[in-house]
Structure 1
Amino acid sequence: MDPHIKAMLEEQAARTAGQQMPPLDMIPPEMIRANYQTERKAVNQGAPKDVATKDITVEGAAGPIPARLYTPAGAPAVTPGLVYFHGGGFVIGDLETHDGHCRRLAAFAGVRVLAVDYRLAPEHPFPASHDDALAATKWVFDHAAEIGFDPAHVAVGGCSAGGNLAASVSIDLKDDPKRRLAFQLLLYPGIWPDEETQSRKDLDGPLLTKEVLAWFEKHLGAHGHPQIARVALDKAKDLAGLPPALIVTAGYDPLKDEGRDYARRLEAAGVKVSHVEYSNMVHDFYILGDVSPAVVDAAKETAATLKAALA
């Protein structure tokens, strides 16, 4: 494991040693959201400051939702663009938790990034998040001139649950002739397979534990829903014709096998796909920007692939 991240985890363990932690089900989601935001903002203070930000609203499935537009320094009036969905199991996460990560993507790739603050479960159970992601992406195409996006070079991306949303949007728009996605950026995506992968069996953390995964699933409320294929992407049968993809996985992540398997399925369907695994990294590593220099290096490598794909 990356030594800087290992030291962070050891420090966290030492700080909570001996404390009797209540089960997650006993903690209100809003409290966990607040703690997550505080923790992630604290380790992204070194994110690029020369990226202009503007908070706007975009159209969600049930009305306007917040979004944040990132414009890199010196950007021309129109650039390729990335529509980005944050992680957090569809239950936690927001524009603030992933602000540093989006700043790095915009600065290193030289493209505009629009981060979408989709509705969260359990207040808004499945498929609210997926419906918002699709509606927001359609809005971007229809209002590209207003936000400086080149509609011929639009990508969707996300990490963890956000990677699931990006992949789902790619499938939803596959046959839309007016809204042709150029690329999908899937960072340790949650594919939510029906059958438990080996990495989900073997790994209980760090960060993403079996208890946390079960808590997310319970609050999302997707199982048994007729649209379950939008979350459990192994049920999506026709993947041919999807935009090219970069799938990134982490060696110390319970989701690594499903990300790898989805890359193989895309490739088998004729989709141009690259799979990169950072074997010494953990889940959520892209938003640990100040913890390890390797995080920034990975962000630069990922942004370089994004930039080339949208050129």
Structure 2
Amino acid sequence: MRGDSFLRGESSTTTAQEGAMTIPFQVRVQAAVVRGAYALPRPLRRLLAGAPVRRDGQELALDAQLLLRLQRLSGEQLVSPRGVAHSRAALDVGRHLVSGPPIEPVGTRDVAIPVAYGDLPATLYTPAGLDGPSGLLVFFHGGGWVVGSRASHDNTARFLAQRAGVRVLSVEYRLAPEHVFPSAVDDALAAFDFAHAKAGDLGVDPARIAVGGDSAGGNLAAVTAQLATRRGGPAPAFQLLFYPATDATRHRRSRQLFADGFFLTSAHMDWFSGHYAPEGVDRADPRLSPLLADDLSGLPPVYIATAGFDPLRDEGEAYARRLSEAGVTVALSRQPDLVHGYVNFLGIGHRFREATAEAAGALRLALSPR
């Protein structure tokens, strides 16, 4: 592949009207119902959501509780009993209900990352008015290494790009069960190396490249930071980890407390890990369980966000503690009233956007010109 051929097409923006034209009518009706529920006066939203939910000294945000109520009424789940393909399709539909219209003005460009097996697809997001070399976030989407895509996290990438004032490279890494561990890890590291090598062509400063992601994507970002740092040479300048999976070997207290009823369940986690790390995989491998790495010193500064009502909460916070003990600069931010997945719910209510904006602020500060 020629060195100048990885950028495909012209920079463009997608208007909300153009995006709506591609959404099936029934889904648009459902989205209108969801928006209508969130537009109700607070007393009516509380009535619809039910009595406040309190657990472990925390109270669930009304925005989050209403979302869970609407999810139960719809009968949809994060993981479909009909299997992987249906789960992926359901997530693609569900994103139209909660992520909101495309955030503008943000330019997008397709990028092909050359790897041993061909090209790894990615999308480069550039917020309007960004001049000169900028910071870059290499972003890995969540979805348990099995579901999710650049499309499912499109507005998340747009939001982070716009609010942080950086470019975002969202990577379409290979998914399980078609490609089991460590395929996604190999893709994530290749994407970071590409971003650093092609920084000038991407319009970014090679000294200001961060890695980040949510859930399984947070896991991949953490692993990429470890691998890049330990080998020597180019390493990320910063890590942005939303409720990352960090330890596949044990269940902590939060997994028991929030095993069911809060979007991501313990059963979902078993389903995801069973596809990504099937029998025979060493789940203590730091490329799967970054919390278990022998040495965490020397890693780049990190912002770790956890959600109070999330089975993954405690392992994310355990990773933050280990990093801090190793001398790494850590900003740990528990969102005590939210559930797993909140960076995808930017189109409903206010609380999800508020929490994600805090992380974008941390990214802006970390990648600002020195």
Instruction: Give the TM-score normalised by structure 2.
Output: 0.79
Q: Is the 8 A contact 1:193 1:258 kept in 2?
A: no
Map of 1:255 onto structure 2:
312
RMSD value over aligned CA atoms?
A: 1.9
The alpha carbon displacement at 1:297 in A equals: 1.5
* Structure whose CA Rg is larger: 2
Per the alignment, in what secondary structure is the counterpart of residue 249 of structure 1? strand
Instruction: Select 1:41's aligned residue among 92, 96, 110.
Output: 96
1:79 paired residue number:
134
Q: Tell me the CA shift for residue 14 of structure 1.
A: 2.3
Query: Is residue 219 from structure 1 mapped to residue 269 from structure 2 by the alignment?
Result: no
1:3 aligns with 2:67: no
1:226 to partner: Cα distance: 5.2
Question: What SS class does the counterpart of residue 170 from structure 1 fall into?
Answer: helix
Q: Is the 8 A contact 2:218 2:240 kept in 1?
A: yes
SS of equivalent to 1:229? coil
Question: Residue type matched to 1:79 in 2?
Answer: S
Give 2:184's match in structure 1, choosing from 108, 129, 135.
129
1:298 aligned onto 2:355: yes
1:99 aligns to what?
A: 154
**Within 2, Cα distance between the matches of 1:148 and 1:242?**
25
Shift in alpha-carbon separation, 1:212–1:133, aligned structure 2, 3 A: same
Is 1:231 aligned to residue 253 of structure 2? no
CA shift at 1:157, angstroms? 0.2
> Identity over aligned residues, as a percent?
40
Partners of 1:165 and 1:109 in 2: how far apart?
21
1:105 and 1:303 in contact (8 A); partners too: yes
Give the 3-state SS of the residue equivalent to 2:229 in structure 1. Answer: coil
User: Is this contact kept in 2: 1:61–1:135, CA < 8 A?
Assistant: no
Aligned residue number for residue 297 of structure 2: 240
1:45-64 correspondence to structure 2 within 5 Å: 45-60=100-115, 62-64=117-119
Q: What corresponds to 2:12 in structure 1?
A: none
Q: Does the CA-based 8 Å contact 1:61-1:128 persist in structure 2?
A: no
- Cα deviation per residue 1:283-306 (whole Å; 9 max; x = unaligned)? 000100112211221222111111
- What is the Cα deviation at residue 34 of structure 1? 1.0
CA shift for structure 1 position 42? 2.8
Distance 1:190 1:74 in 2: 35
Once the two structures are TM-superposed, the CA of residue 176 in structure 1 deviates from its matched residue by 4.5
2:51 corresponds to which residue?
none
Indicate the residue corresponding to 1:156 in structure 2.
211
The 3 A distance-change label for structure 1 pair 59 and 42 is farther
Does structure 2 conserve the Cα–Cα contact (< 8 Å) formed by 1:193 and 1:234? no
TM alignment of 1:273-284, pairs within 5 A: 273-284=330-341
The worse-fitting range, judged by mean Cα deviation, of 132-141 and 56-65 is 56-65
* Aligned partner of residue 155 in structure 1, secondary structure: strand
Q: CA deviation at 1:26?
A: 4.9
Q: Which runs of 5 or more structure 1 residues have no equivalent in the other structure?
A: none
- For 1:166, the equivalent position in structure 2 comes to 221
The equivalent position to 2:323 in structure 1, one of 250, 261, 266, is 266
Residues 61 and 220 (structure 1), Cα distance of their counterparts in 2 relative to 1, 3 Å cut: farther
User: Does structure 2 conserve the Cα–Cα contact (< 8 Å) formed by 1:158 and 1:164?
Assistant: yes
Q: Is the contact made by 2:310 and 2:339 (CA closer than 8 Å) also made in structure 1?
A: yes
2:166 corresponding residue in structure 1: 111
Q: 1:309 to 1:65 in 2, by over 3 A?
A: same
Residues 60 and 118 in structure 1, CA contact (< 8 A), matched pair in contact too: no
Gaps of 5+ in 2: 1-59
Q: 1:61 offset after TM fit, Å? A: 5.3
**Partner amino acid for 1:92?**
V
Q: TM-score, with normalisation over the residues of structure 1?
A: 0.94
- Displacement of 1:37 in angstroms is 1.4
The answer on whether the counterparts of 2:254 and 2:313 sit within 8 Å (CA) in structure 1 is yes
Greater RCO structure (CA 8 Å; 6+ sep): 1
Residues 152 and 265 (structure 1 numbering): CA distance in 2 closer, same or farther, change over 3 Å? Answer: same
1:80–1:112 Cα contact (<8 Å) kept: yes
Q: Secondary structure at the match of 1:27?
A: coil
Secondary structure in 2 aligned to 1:234?
helix
* 1:210 and 2:266 aligned: yes
Aligned to 1:188: 243
Does the CA contact (< 8 Å) of 1:163 and 1:188 recur in 2?
Answer: yes
**Residues of 2 paired with 1:6 and 1:233: CA distance?**
31
- Kept in 2: contact 1:155–1:185 (CA 8 A): yes
Q: What is the number of equivalent residue pairs in this alignment?
A: 307
**Structure 1 residues 129-138 or 40-49, which shifts more?**
40-49
- CA deviation after TM superposition for structure 1 residue 55, in Å: 1.5
